[in-house]
A and B are shown apart, each in its own frame.
Chain A
Amino acid sequence: MERETGAREGLKGWLNPSKIGKFGIERLAWLLMRLTGLGLLAYFIGHIYETSHILDGKAVWDKSLEMTQTTEGHLFLALVIGMCVFHTGNGIRLMIAQMGYGIGKAERPDYPYKPQSINMKGKACIYATLGMAALAMWYGMAVMFA
């Protein structure tokens, strides 16, 4: 019986940047979807903790709000905006694709085989979502640093 050496790649399979180069923008979107999901979950927990200070009186509440009124705080919030927009936009793309739309039609494949599910519509949606996230971050920073 073989030892289970190399049976699973583990986190390397997720985070190895060479995978994105080899498997294209869809793999980048997949990785960003995971990372932004985890980031937003962490933000949500932090946000609940921060807003719970409202129960401790005005002074404590004002102090906790000051945390985001710094340059680092603004950059962090801009990142949250970017994560939120990307996760929403890409999530809508995935929901539509996972219902079976926009992934082509099953038919006899001809050489050279081009997977229909990996198509320009999907790629355009990913680039558009990345663009929207960048734009939202830029606008957020413009407002916060004004």
Chain B
Amino acid sequence: MATIHPKLSDELSQTVVSSTKSVKIKIKRSNPNVNSEQKFDDFVVPIEKWTTVLDVLLDVKSHLDHSVGVRYSCRQASCGSCGMKINGKPGLACFTKISELDSDTVTVEPMDNYPVVRDLAVNMDRMINNHKKVMPYVIREDSEIDAESGIREFLQSPENVEKYIQFSSCIKCGLCNSACPTMAMDKTFVGPQALAQAYRYIADDRDKGKNKRLKVIDESHGIWRCHFAGSCSQVCPKGVDPAMGIQLLRGYLLGIRD
């Protein structure tokens, strides 16, 4: 079968390099579907002051090695696809500039606590399943549009919006679950992402599904498994602060907070 890719040497000769700076990127490579081998491949890539880790990875894919496995989409920290471990700390590749890493060598690895699909792409099924488990939607018997009762919308005060708006910024990138030390050991822990989302809907005064949601999280591998290491909040790229949501929810469960 004929290859559709141009020769690598041809592409390299066409690459216009205007930058005087470069960075060495070490990419962890593995393909668990083939064998258990894990290795780091090194590439040197030109950079500018605005270059992100994702730009570097795409440069590698375009000009040096087409086979690097990386998941990405929006390139603007909105889709949550390009989560990975950058110099040992979970982060979004599109939201991390090389210049802010302050290092000539950047090491990228797949996120911890997720099964690797290939290279930097991980399987996020567990997080998505836990996210679904906490019923991340407003639960109500009545409809928002009801001609008979005349209800057109569920009114909410700005103060009530403030109670949950922070937690609605979650983009499901999974960085919090990757940083969480409890996730490292407990295979049935719900995880900070889902717990923060549980709080987001419980704090929403339009929602009437509090009891259903609490049943899911009020168990030994649920909210009580969090030990407040705070790592989830430190890596969140959207300011969600899952650790805060979890502690507020605990206060609510203990009957101490509204």
Contact = CB atoms under 8 A, between A and B. Distances in A.
Interface of A: 2-14, 18-19, 22-24, 26-27, 29-31, 33-34, 94, 97-101, 103-104, 106-111, 113-118, 122
B169 A23 contact: no
A26 B179 CA distance: 13
A115 to B, nearest CB: 4
A115 B241 contact: yes
A114 B227 CA distance: 20
Given A7-B113, A118-B234, 4 more contacts: A6-B30, A12-B184, A23-B89, A114-B239
Interface stretch (B6-14, B129-137, B139-147, B249-257): B249-257
Given A107-B162, A108-B162, A30 B241 contact: no
Contacts of B256: 99-100
A27 to B, nearest CB: 5
B228 A11 contact: no
A22 B32 contact: no
Interface string B153-170: 000000000111111010
Contacts, number: 161
Contacts of B227: 30, 33-34, 94
21 contacts: A5-B30, A7-B113, A9-B184, A10-B185, A26-B228, A27-B181, A27-B231, A29-B229, A30-B227, A94-B227, A97-B247, A98-B247, A99-B251, A104-B244, A106-B165, A106-B166, A106-B244, A113-B239, A113-B241, A114-B239, A115-B243
B167 A8 contact: no
Contacts of A26: 228-231, 234
B72 interface: no
B240 A109 contact: yes
Contacts of A27: 181, 229-231
Interface of B: 30, 32-33, 36, 88-89, 110, 112-117, 122-123, 162-167, 169, 179, 181, 183-185, 187, 203, 227-231, 233-234, 236-241, 243-245, 247-248, 250-252, 254, 256-257
B61 to A, nearest CB: 21
A13 B115 contact: no
A129 B31 CA distance: 45
A14 B184 contact: yes
Which of B32, B122, B231 is packed against the most chain A CB atoms within 10 Å? Answer: B231
B166 A107 contact: yes
A122 B89 CA distance: 22
Q: Give me the 9 closest cross-chain CB pairs, A-B, nearest first.
A: A13-B184, A100-B251, A113-B239, A109-B239, A115-B233, A30-B229, A117-B244, A9-B184, A5-B32
